Structure formats: structure tokens, C-alpha cells
Structure 1
């Protein structure tokens, strides 16, 4: 394996120089990508939860109800993030990962 291939392999780059040659390697790569996405989604859920708390505080202080479109609300994005976390958690758990307490 060359240095470029090693760098691609260790970083899990989708279009890197290293080409996975076995089903086990492909499975491991898929699980690694799912774990990275899960970590990103957990961070996003925390961010959206904080944003929602701020929005509610500001709305209560102003005595107004937010007028954002329903498809673009923080609540909807938070719900979508939670759904994706549940999907990734289910996938990784079925693959043998122990995620107890990790996704909270």
C-alpha cells in the first residue's frame, strides 16, 4: 500500500486512492461512515436543541409565535436528525456495535 493509499484508507475517503477489495473491507468502511455520520448527527441534534431553546425564549419574550414555514422549522430539523440517529443506531447495533449510552 502506498502512502497515498494508506492516507485514503485511514481517512475512509470515499473516492480515495485505496480501493476496497473484499466484502469485509467494504462492510467495515460502511460501518465507519455510519459511525462518522452518527457522531455528526448527535452534534447536530445538540446544536438544534440549543437553538430551539433560544428560539422559544425569544418568542416568549416577544409574545409572538414564529412565522417560519413548517418545513423549515428547527423542530422539524431536530425531528429529522433524531430519526436519522435512530436509523444509524439501529444499523450499527445490528452490525454488532455496542452503543449503549453513546447516543444520548
Structure 2
């Protein structure tokens, strides 16, 4: 860690201690900032999740399909119900996009 980073961490710790001990009130965040922070968190999760699911869509894993096929065969042998079906990767990607679009809302470019 650099000296500047260490000084910053020390300053943060000193400020927190003075707030706790001295009864000083911490900085209040306004509602606009809280809303922006929430949207940034959602956008960050959306980008990461959609990137992962896009990779799965473009490069499907054949082992997953084989595993689900085997589970289906085993459940038929046991006389049980049909196992879980193979979920199409484009469906999973589309559902992720819709989910995060609803969370971000229509006023967001990512939401649309």
C-alpha cells in the first residue's frame, strides 16, 4: 500500500472514531445520492450477469446438456417423473435482461 493510501485509511479511521466517541454526526447523504448509488449497484450486477450469460449463449457448455440428459434418463429408470429439462441459453439471457430492465426502470437507458 502506498503512503497516500495509508494516510487516507488513517484519516477515515480517525474520522470514524471521532464520530463515535465525540458524538459528532456523520455526513448525511441526500436521497438523490442514495438513488444513484442503488442504480449503479444494479447496473454493475446487470452488466456482470449479462456478460456471463452472453458468454454461455455464445459458447454453450456441452457437459451441461449431457448432465441433464443423464439425470432425465436416471429418473425414467427409477420410474419417477421426467427430470428437469434443458434450459435454453437464449431464454436465460433474455430473462436476465428483462429482470434487470425492470429493476432499473423505463427512465434508464439500460432499462429500456
How high is the TM-score relative to the length of structure 1? 0.49
How high is the TM-score relative to the length of structure 2? 0.47
Asked which structure has the greater RCO (Cα within 8 Å, sep 6+), the reply is 1
